Amino acid sequence: MFKVWNQLTKPRVTILVLATVFPGLYLGTEGTPSLSLTLITMLGTYLMSSASFIFNQYIEWEKDAVMYRTKKRPIPEGVITPKAALFLGTVIMLLAFGILHYYVNLLTAICAWAALLLYVFLYTLWLKPRTEQNVVIGGISGCIGPLIGYAAISNSLPLPAWILFLMIFLWTPAHFWALAIFLKKDYEFAGIPMMPVVSGVDKTVKQIFLYSIAYSITVLGFYFAEDRMGMIYLVSAILLTIVFLSFAYKLLQIKEAVFAKKFFFFSILHLFLVSIAIVVDSRI
């Protein structure tokens, strides 16, 4: 049962979402957020994120069945029926909304629910089957972590929250297109118009490099946008940005699927470390 739950809810992705909530929680207050508020916000966000991934697999289970990477997921394997998955996702979504609304505040619940709706309807149902720009616009759903954090601690969405939102928005295309290069044949077979399939790897690595530059600018720019950021964040941001851009430049030069996979995993680590640097510096 635990294995099935993990396959349905993509916990590795959810951990990254939770990591982006922390900066908002810590920057949205002069003090330290209470342990109870932090834990309940994380629980509600975790459940809402899990529900969104269950809905995604319910919608795409037939395509998942023909892709090598996804054919062993619970619905294509027959471990759980599509109707049961839909019911489970609905229950978890309502539970998450109720927890965040009752124990945190309505704004936090709405932010988390908005992320789910955008992921399910804007990305999965509308954009993903239709355009190579699906991860650009649809990636909005994955940018809401900082908004959830700020909303939970301050019941507001100030400008720094939206700058962090923009940071993740610019990070997303480079991150997902790198994975799409590595999984190009799978996406071709399933008829999903990811950029490497529609426009080729050459264009994709150029776009990854451009988005990497834009993302790096926001990472460095956050130091100037948030008064509470000091030298710990600035030094960390500079070093992390240099490494990130070097990865992106190397991918631009060699265009290899294996290195694209390495870039994909490093991009996850990079965003996680940037989030940690923000939290640490805000406490010093």
Q: Which of 157, 173, 191 is the last residue of a domain?
A: 157
Note whether 178 and 90 are same-domain residues.
no
CB 218 within 8 A of CB 163: yes
Q: Which of 157, 185, 209 is the last residue of a domain?
A: 157
Residue 166: what residue type? L
Judge whether residue 136 has pLDDT over 80.
no
**Cα 141 from Cα 205, distance rounded (Å):** 23
Give me the number of domains the chain comprises.
Answer: 2
Note whether 1 and 139 are same-domain residues.
yes
Note whether 189 and 270 are same-domain residues.
yes
Note whether 253 and 194 are same-domain residues.
yes
Instruction: Identify which has the larger pLDDT, 122 or 190.
Output: 122
Judge whether residue 88 has pLDDT over 90.
yes
Average pLDDT over residues 94-98: 98
Range of the domain at 200: 158-284
Terminal CA-to-CA distance of the chain, rounded, Å? 42
Judge whether residue 139 has pLDDT over 90.
no
Give 249's Cβ-side CA count (13 Å radius).
Answer: 8
pLDDT at 1: 67
Note whether 121 and 246 are same-domain residues.
no
pLDDT at 66: 74
In tens, the pLDDT along 32-56 reads 889 999 999 999 999 999 999 999 9
Average pLDDT over residues 98-121: 95
Return the axis-axis angle of helices 201-225 and 159-182, rounded to nearest 10°: 160
In tens, the pLDDT along 235-244 reads 999 999 999 9
**Cα 189 from Cα 36, distance rounded (Å):** 47
User: What CATH number does residue 17 fall under?
Assistant: 1.10.357.140
Q: Which of 104, 137, 157 is the last residue of a domain?
A: 157
CB 105 within 8 A of CB 40: no
Query: Residue 12 has which token pair?
Result: 């590795």
Note whether 28 and 146 are same-domain residues.
yes
Note whether 132 and 164 are same-domain residues.
no
Note whether 151 and 183 are same-domain residues.
no
CB 252 within 8 A of CB 203: no
Average pLDDT over residues 232-251: 96
Helix (H, G, I), strand (E, B) or coil at 213: helix
Judge whether residue 183 has pLDDT over 80.
yes
